[in-house]
Each structure stands twice: as C-alpha cells, then as structure tokens.
Structure 1
Amino acid sequence: MSTPHEVRWSIGELAERAGVTVKTVRFYSDQGLLPETSRSTGGHRRYGPQALERLRLIRSLRTLDLALPEIRRVLEDEDAAGRILEDVVADRLRRLGGELSALRWREAALQLVRECPPAERADRLHLLGALNTPPSTAPLARFWRAWLPPRMPAQATSAFLQAAVPQPPDEPCPAQALAFAQLHAMTTAPCPGGRQPQPDVHRVAGARGAAVLYAGLTEAYELAGPHLRRARDPFPGEALDAYVTAYASAYGSRDTRDFRRLLAARLTADPRLDRYWELTAVVLTPPGGRPEPTPGSADDWLRAALQRDIAESA
C-alpha cells in the first residue's frame, strides 16, 4: 500500500529513468516482474523506486543472456537469489562454451575448404559435412568396442576407451579438424567383410585374458611415454619388460627368451590401426607442439625395442 508521500512514477517516467522504452516496461509489467505501487484514477500504472531497482537488475541479467524463466527464478526467491544466480550463470557458461567450440570447429572447417585445391573440394566438403560441430567421439568408441573382445569386463573396456579415443580440442587448428574428420570417416566406414576383424591375441587370451593384457599394456605405454617425448631410440628396459609381461600374463605363460621370440613373430602391424594412431597424434598435438605419445606410437616403439632385444641376444 502506497503512502501519500511515496514517490510514484508513470510508466513513461520509469522508462526514462531506466533508459528503456515504454514497451519494455509494459512487457516486464505484464510478465509480473515489475511491482506496481498503485494505479491512477484512470487506471494507469504507477511505480516506485523498487520497480526502478528491479528493472535495472532485469536489464543486467539480460546482458548476461539469461532467459526470462531464469530471470524469474532469480527475482522470485530473494533468499536463494545468490545460489540460483550462481547455478544459472554456471549453466549459461557451459552452454556458451559449447557454442564457442562449435563456432571454432566451423571456422576450422571453412579454412580447410578455402585452402583445398578445387579438384578436391567436393570430397573435402563431404568429409567435413559428416562431422557434427563440435564433433562427437561416439563413432570412435563404437569402433573400439567392436574391436575389443566380446564380454570383456566393463571396467577394462572403459579404461581402454579413455586411452584410445582422443577428445576433440575446443580450439582446433585446420589440421586437427581434418584429422578428426578423417578419424570419423575411418571409424564409420564398413568393416572388411562386414565385420570388425579380431586380432589373434583376443582369440588366444579370451575376454578375461584381454583385460589383463590391456591393463599391462597401459602400464607399459606409460613407461615408454617419457622415452617417446625425448625421441629416444627403442631399447630394452623396464618398459619392454612390462610390455612382454602383459602378453605373457594374458597367454598364461612366462617372460622367457623363447616367449619373446614367439611374441615378436606374432605381433604384426595393422595398417588400419596404424592410420588411426597417426591421425590421433595430429588431433592431440596443438599447433607448434610436439606430438604426444599415443598407445599406437608407444606400441610401435615397444615392438621395435623387442626386435632389438632379440637381435642383441642372438
């Protein structure tokens, strides 16, 4: 209830003081967001200083791109306004981050098309057009799930996928965007013979043995990582010992000279997987940075170390 001495402004006066249009004041009033002090004898709205403060707050929230329902939540619960505003702002920041990432991926794609030779432009457009922005890692995860042995324990599968599936960078350079598009195309292409071929080690070790194998390989790859970063030539050592032990455990065998020779004969390169790891290295390497070790590059290094070890022991 207003008093005779309370300041009261017309809708036009409030709009002028707030620096907005009369239409804006009327809109927020109709939405129930601006408190009216009273009505004139002619039924016209009258507002007090509280409405001016509320209108300025609404404008501030709108500059943060908050939607009307979000603004209403902040205004209607004064006791929890701080917490609500914090939650709303955090949510908007997450959404804005996704929008910015999508724009950066589109920018990288446009640069790739612009720099592409005219004869290759149609193929590149097709390649990039199949990719969401920002891209999803789901096709890559499906590729590896089909490659891993059936009924492999979920924890082991999850750990492997975390190491094998590269996360798309938020600010990709054109080379990274192209590499990820090529990864997407490769992992969504039909498998030879209609089914993803399983490596021999999966058939020999089985699902449980494969879980033991990949846990051991993860340790071996981590041990090999520092040597790859220093660009050291492959050599026998702790990393190779962990690598051979992983296979020996999966096969139910022991790390012996005979086993190492047998293992070296069984381990063969897979051109499709080699290409996957080459592209993954590009995705993970920022412009001007050194390529980060991948499971593929670590495996190549360890296989070369195994060959060197066998040659030196002959």
Structure 2
Amino acid sequence: MDGDTLYSIGELARRTGLTVKTIRFYSDRGIVAPTDRSPVGYRLYSIDAVARLDLVRTLRELGLDLPTIRKVVDRELSLPEVAAAHAEALAAQIGVLRMRRAVLMTVAERGSTPEETELMHRLAKLSEDERRRLIGDFLDAVFGGFHAAPAFAGVMRSMTPDLPDNSEAEQVQAWVELAEMSLDPGFRAVMRRMAEDLAAEQTRRDMTGPRRDITAVVRDQVGPALAAGIDPASPQADPIVAAFTAHCAHLLGRPDDVEFRRRLATRLESVSDPRRERYLRLLAVVNGWPPPESLAPVFDWSVQALRVRTQR
C-alpha cells in the first residue's frame, strides 16, 4: 500500500466502516485531522488516519470521552494509564448498577411499599465505610457491654457481613435485606436477649470450666428424637426431655424444676426466632460461606415438649 496516497473522506469511510458524518465530526474536533486538501477544498487523509479511526472507534465503544481520546491518539496520555483509570471507573459503575438491580429485584419479589423501597435504595447506596458503621451500630446494640469477653469477640466476627467489591447480584440483594433487618428495633431486641443469655451462660462456664453451650446440648440430644419421628408430647419423649433439661440446668447452675423448664422454653423460642435464622442465611450469602444448618425444627420440637410438660 502506498503510504503517500491520500484518501477522500468518502474513501476513508469505506475503509473504516464509519459514516462520512462521523469522520467529519472527529475531524472537526481535531481527533483525526486531514493531511491535505484537494484543489477544490475537500479534505484528504493519509493511510495513518485509518488506524487512528480504528483506535478512536474502539475507545469510544469502551466508553471513553472525546477529550480523553484526543489526548490518547495525540500521545499526550498513556493508553495503559487511561485504560486502568477507566476500568476503575467502570468497576464503580458496575457496583452501583448491581446495587440498583438488587433493590429492584427485592421490590419485585417482596411487593415492597414506596417507603420500604426508599429505605432499600438508601441502604444500597452506602459506601463501604457507611456499611461498616451501620453494622457496627447493630452489633453495638446487640453486644454492647460484652465486648471485653473473649467469647463475644468470635461471635461478633461471625455476625459481621463483608460485602466484596466484586460481589454477585445475589450477595448485593442479601446485603440490602440484611442491612434492613439490622435496623429493625424488634430484631435488635431479640438478638440482645440472646446475647444476655449467652453472657450469663459464659459467666457460669468461667466458674465451672469449659462446657458445651445450650444450643449444642439441645441439638445433640433432641436431633435423634426428631429424626426418629418421636412426638414431643408422647411418653416416648419423656426421657429425652429429662436428659436435655437436666444437662441445661446443670450447665446454668439451676434446679431442673417447672420454672426452669418454662424459662428454658422461652429461651429456645428466642433462639429459634425465624429472623435470627434469616440473618444467618443472608450473612452466609454475603460472605460467601456455606449455608448454615437450620436448627429451627430441633428448637420447635424442644419448645413443644417443654410447654406440654410445664402445663400439666
């Protein structure tokens, strides 16, 4: 190909696939300047204009603005530096779009009111620091005053969501719902009661040495009965109830009487609150953890068994 050959704007359009109007637009802005003009004043371009226009088209398709493109093609800016900066900007835009999509999906699935939609939208727009402050406020409301206890440091870490920068839509949607839950005063009160029970249990454990917690006791002793299909109100359940209530009473340093069983039933009802399990499931999605085991059936069986025997 003859490097000295000059091309009219029409010929350049045929070689690049761009319209004459588009090439004239780029030419008027100095991005692809003509090399010369014909005797009658028509613009003429060298073969270099083809490569330049191909680069311009690529950069435009990638979303770069014209002033930046002009600096790139004129070598005033390094293309790798521009690409890195633009990729970073696109990542931020993608994050915003994921958040918006999560809100819209949640609204569609839940049939949210305008007020709920506004709240979810505000939660979705929070920065990373704002997200951390929101969850920090929730954890303070639940565990305030217990922070110094070693047992609670691990519990608080296990309750903390950490939405990754490259999160999937499912993670974003889970974060929005989880954040909304963390603002619910009723949910905070339920979680606070559980923290207080755990603190009392921890105090007893510190005095008597390491022991399994009540949740583990109930899960291990009631699980087989549930799997075997034993009715919690039946006589076959009596030895199972006697075993786990005796163990829990010993764990807490209380007599295994009717009043203790009533309190234990209330505590297990609190632990089995569906909002707590929902929070843990959402937390697993946000953090990319395996889904947690559902203990609701075990707790429900235990509560039914205790209620029947404390009403006699």
Q: TM-score, normalised by structure 1?
A: 0.52
Paired position in structure 1 for 2:119? 130
Corresponding position of 2:94: 96
Q: 2:280, 2:292 within 8 Å by CA — same for their partners in 1?
A: yes
Task: Classify 1:22/1:185 alpha carbon distance in 2 versus 1 (closer, same or farther; 3 Å).
Answer: same
Q: Contact 2:178/2:282 (CA < 8 Å) preserved in 1? A: no
Q: CA deviation at 1:234?
A: 3.4
Q: Percent identity?
A: 24
Cα distance in 1 between the residues matched to 2:87 and 2:58? 12
Aligned to 1:166: 161
Contact 1:12/1:22 (CA < 8 Å) preserved in 2?
yes
Describe the shift of the 1:258–1:278 C-alpha distance in structure 2 as closer, same or farther (beyond 3 A): closer
1:51 aligns with 2:37: no
1:261 corresponds in structure 2 to 252
| Superposed displacement of residue 151, structure 1 | 11
2:277: which partner in 1? 278
Choose the corresponding residue for 1:68, options 66, 71, 75.
66
- Kept in 2, the 8 Å contact 1:37–1:46? The answer is yes
Structure exhibiting the larger radius of gyration computed from Cα positions:
2
Partner of 2:9: 11
CA drift of 1:200 comes to: 4.8
Counterpart in the other structure of 2:138: 143
Distance 1:68 1:28, change over 3 A: same
Query: Aligned ranges for residues 87-236 of structure 1 at < 5 Å?
Result: 87-89=85-87, 91-93=89-91, 95-96=93-94, 98-100=96-98, 102-103=100-101, 105-113=103-111, 124=113, 126-132=115-121, 135=124, 136=126, 137=131, 139-149=134-144, 163-167=158-162, 170-172=168-170, 177=173, 183-189=178-184, 200=196, 233-234=219-220
Partners of 1:279 and 1:68 in 2: CA distance: 49
| Paired residue type of 2:220 | P
| CA shift in 2, pair 1:273/1:262, >3 Å | same
Letter in 2 for 1:283: L
Structure 2 CA distance, aligned partners of 1:77 and 1:283? Answer: 49
Partner in structure 2 of residue 27 of structure 1: 25
Partner of 2:245: none
Q: Which runs of 5+ in 2 are unaligned?
A: 207-211, 222-247, 303-312
What is the alpha-carbon distance in structure 2 between the residues aligned to residue 147 and residue 270 of structure 1? 18
Give the CA deviation at 1:86.
4.5
Q: Does 1:38 align with 2:29?
A: no
State the AA in 2 paired with 1:127.
E
Give the drift of 1:261.
2.9
Cα distance change, pair 11–80 in 1 and its aligned pair in 2 (3 A): same
Tell whether the 8 Å contact from 2:71 to 2:77 is kept in structure 1 after alignment: no
Q: Distance in 2 between matches of 1:74 and 1:170?
A: 33
Counterparts in 2 of 1:60 and 1:184: CA distance versus 1, 3 Å: same
Distance 2:21 2:153 in 1: 56
Q: SS at the partner of 1:28?
A: helix
Amino acid at match of 1:278: E
TM-score by length of 2: 0.52
Q: CA deviation at 1:54?
A: 0.9
- Offset at 1:56? 1.0
How many matched pairs?
Answer: 242
Q: 1:132 to 1:76 in 2, by over 3 A?
A: farther
